[in-house]
Structure 1
Amino acid sequence: MKSIIIAILACILIYVSAIDDKCLSCICKIESNCQPLGCKWDVNSNSCGYYQLKKAYWLDCGSPGGGWETCSANKACADGCVRKYMTRYAKKCVGSRTPTCQDFARIHNGGPTGCTKAATVGYWNKVNACYKSG
């Protein structure tokens, strides 16, 4: 019985921390106009693909898809990587409240504690404009 309760709580935590499709789509649009861009130098390292993923981000999402650049250029793999990254870090960033698209966007832009960094507000404003537009 105890293991069933733990499994249910784990599922609830994953559900509560999940980024919604609209937010994910807006992040993709802001990063690359949702195109599989090649790698380019950005803030001390290369960023690649649909979400302009850095190698450290890809490692943090579990290193899926046979390689960082390969996964970044594959929409399904990149989507999954971002979702796993958000599941891993959103609750750590926001504490006991339910994460919002703002939290997810700022974590994507600023790393595991990005939701608390002033430097990520401008990025959120871009994502929010997309999010509000439908």
Structure 2
Amino acid sequence: MAESKPPGPLSAKLFKAIQHVETGRQKNPSTVEGGRDGLCYGPYQIREEYWKDACEQDPTLMEGGKTWKNCLGEGSFLYSEKLMQAYVSRYATKEKLLRKPTNEDLARIHKGGPNGHKSALSARYWLLVSEQLK
């Protein structure tokens, strides 16, 4: 994992917990292609739609010809973390949630999309992530 996290609401500890849930058992998480359809990439299992959404929030994520494929391989931890910071900064806001976002909100939005913090499907995911935070 990167030595220091990119700026944003996700802490280094939360990144580590999410990565453990997503790809923690893999020998080399940066090379994992997963998901039911094989279209989730890298240590945090980023989908192309997520990448596009994060790039709308922060167009600098496409500089130098970067694409969704940069979520795989060398440098994928830091690049994916920058994407995640942009994504949750777009959807996990005090204005949207009507309160300060929590680690639970951040993790569930990462997993479940813009309204993931309300999704029953992301509730189990949060239980797994929260176990890693202990």
Q: Which moved more, 1:24-33 or 1:50-59?
A: 24-33
Tell me which moved more, 33-42 or 123-132. 33-42
* TM-score, length-scaled by structure 2: 0.76
Q: Distance in 2 between matches of 1:93 and 1:109?
A: 20
Does residue 29 of structure 1 match 2:20?
yes
State the alpha-carbon separation in 1 of the partners of residues 32 and 22 from structure 2: 12
Contact 1:94 1:103 in 2 (8 A): no
Unaligned 5+ runs, structure 1 = 1-14
Match of 1:102 in 2: 104
Residue from 78, 98, 112 that aligns with 2:114: 112
Larger radius of gyration: 1
For 1:70-89, list aligned pairs within 5 A.
70-73=70-73, 74-89=76-91
TM-score (norm 1): 0.76
1:38 to 32, 43, 49: 32
Q: Secondary structure at the match of 2:93?
A: helix
Secondary structure of the structure 1 residue equivalent to 2:42: coil
Q: Deviations over 1:104-129 (max 9, x none)?
A: 11111110100001111110000000
Q: Conserved in 1, the CA contact under 8 Å of 2:17 and 2:133?
A: yes
Question: Which amino acid letter does the alignment assign opposite residue 57 of structure 1?
Answer: Y
Per-residue deviation, 1:69: 1.6
Corresponding residue for 2:48?
A: 55
4+ residue stretches of structure 1 with deviation over 6 A? none
Q: Check the 8 A contact 1:93/1:115 in 2, yes or no.
A: no
Q: What value does the CA root-mean-square deviation take over the aligned residues?
A: 2.3
Identity between Structure 1 and Structure 2 (%): 28
**Residues paired across the two proteins, number:** 116
Q: Which amino acid aligns with 1:21?
A: A
SS at match of 2:87: helix
Q: Which has the higher contact order (CA 8 A, sep 6+)?
A: 2
Secondary structure of residue in 1 paired with 2:31: coil
The answer to which of 63-72 and 79-88 deviates more is: 63-72
